[in-house]
Amino acid sequence: MADLKDVYDSKFIESLAYALGQADVSFNQEAFLMYVSQENWSSLALKQRIRQVSGAMHAGMNKPFPQAIPLLLNAAPPFKRLTGLVFPDYVEQYGLLFWKESMEALAQLTVYSTSEFAVRPFLLQDQERMLAQMMEWTKSSNEHVRRLASEGARPRLPWGQSIPAFKQDPSPLLPLLEPLLKDDSLYVRKSVANHLNDISKTHPDILIALIRQRHGQHPHTDWILRHAARTLLKQGNPDVLQLFGYPNSAHVSVSRLSLEKRTIPIGGALQFSVEIHASQPVKTRVEYAIDYMKKNGRPSRKVFHLTDTHLAGGQSKTMVRTQSFRNMTTRTHYAGEHTLSILINGIQKESITFYVTD
């Protein structure tokens, strides 16, 4: 499997050097290339490569920050997604003392890639001023800029620099998210939902209160709140389950939980089937949990969503699912006893053990 860092290859370096040379005839490509190659490139991780390249851009341009920005903006458009991260990273490295120029640049650069990581040092430098800037971004006609307002301030942004103040007290973030709760852009709504999900991991009461206040008022808001509550739903939070219309599971029974095989190798797949039955009409959230054996010999539970369904009184439904045990970058499997459990509206109903082998 290709590593994400491999997008920063020799072809990319050559294309970036060419684009910067086109934007600025005085750009020193030799200095740029020497800076890039001063470390063992193959050993650098993705973010290290990004930082190495943005430093090389600075060496090649050799200009004060305000004079360098127009050149970066001219060169940036062809570089999308991961390859475009070097441009906001340049602003992050060299623009902290040039607030106005940096804010304008980050708003433009986020359209090509994303400036969500680059805004974090500015939040740490002056939280109040940065949140005010982000509030202005929520009014933008461009969905990428509106998304930046939410994504850049997430308390638990993956790959992003930590903002401890927001983990401790996320309340200053709520006015920032308020204008985006009905946003027409799914791209923005996903960010807002992920932002609220971050908050729910340490301050569940904040999200629960927001659901109570805003659920049922607008379809876009409802989508955000439901997606934001996914962690609390998987945890079986009774308040959240009730708010989304899932009653207790007393009227739902589980039977015929069976495995195709009780022993599977690492790299194989677990296939199981289960039947659920309702004695009365009920809205039902069906999940399954696997207690994975970890390297330390202790189990660690992961909950997966199976289905949401309405069952009529007396109705039964059989479900089949296959779960891969192939090793991934996000999960390594270990041999030993594992447990599969079926959860109905957050309550564990039935379990069965199986074994994973080398």
* pLDDT (tens digit per residue) in 167-205: 999 999 999 999 999 999 999 999 999 999 999 999 999
In angstroms, how far is the first alpha carbon of the chain from the final one? 21
* Same domain as 210, residue 303: no
- For residue 276, the cross-strand partners are 254, 317
Q: What is the 3-state secondary structure (H, E, C) of 220-265?
A: HHHHHHHHHCHHHHHCCCHHHHHHCCCCCHHHEEEEEEEECCCEEE
* Same domain as 279, residue 231: no
Structure tokens at 41: 């490139």
The Cα 251–Cα 279 span in angstroms is 5
Question: CB 354: neighbour CB atoms within 10 A?
Answer: 17
Q: Which of 243, 275, 310 delimits the end of a domain? A: 243
* Same domain as 120, residue 168: yes
CA distances from 339 to 189, 264, 291, 328 (A): 35, 13, 5, 20
Torsion of CA 322, 323, 325, 329, to 10 degrees: 130
Containing H/E element for 129?
helix 127-137
pLDDT at position 42 is 82
Structure tokens at 9: 């290859």
- For residue 339, the cross-strand partners are 291, 353
- Domain of 213 in residue numbering reads as 4-243
Q: Which of 243, 258, 277 delimits the end of a domain? A: 243
Q: Which of 201, 217, 243 delimits the end of a domain? A: 243
The Cα 52–Cα 54 span in angstroms is 6
* Same domain as 86, residue 177: yes
* Same domain as 151, residue 12: yes
**Furthest CA-CA distance within the chain:** 78
pLDDT at position 1 is 45
Amino acid identity at 303: V
* Same domain as 311, residue 189: no
* Same domain as 108, residue 213: yes
* Same domain as 344, residue 287: yes
* Same domain as 177, residue 73: yes
Q: What is the CATH number of the domain that holds 58?
A: 1.25.40.290
Nearest alpha-carbon partner for 196 in 231, 164, 248: 231
Q: What is the CATH number of the domain that holds 339?
A: 2.60.40.10
Question: Can you state the angle between helices 46-61 and 10-23, rounded to 10 degrees?
Answer: 30
* Same domain as 196, residue 272: no
The Cα 113–Cα 80 span in angstroms is 5
* Same domain as 210, residue 72: yes
Bridge-based pairing of strands 263-265 and 252-259 is unpaired
The Cα 151–Cα 172 span in angstroms is 15
Q: What is the pLDDT along the chain (358 residues), one digit of tens a residue?
A: 458 888 888 899 999 999 999 999 999 999 999 999 887 888 889 999 999 999 999 999 999 999 999 999 999 999 999 999 999 999 999 999 999 999 999 999 999 999 999 999 999 999 999 999 999 999 999 999 999 999 999 999 999 999 999 999 999 999 999 999 999 999 999 999 999 999 999 999 999 999 999 999 999 999 999 999 999 999 999 999 999 999 888 999 999 999 999 999 999 999 999 999 999 999 999 999 999 999 999 999 999 999 999 999 999 999 999 999 999 988 999 999 999 999 999 999 999 999 999 8
Structure tokens at 121: 């040092």
Torsion of CA 5, 9, 12, 17, to 10 degrees: 110
* Same domain as 265, residue 123: no
The Cα 57–Cα 45 span in angstroms is 18
pLDDT at position 2 is 59
Structure tokens at 136: 């202005």
When divided into structural domains, the chain yields a total of 2
DSSP 85: G
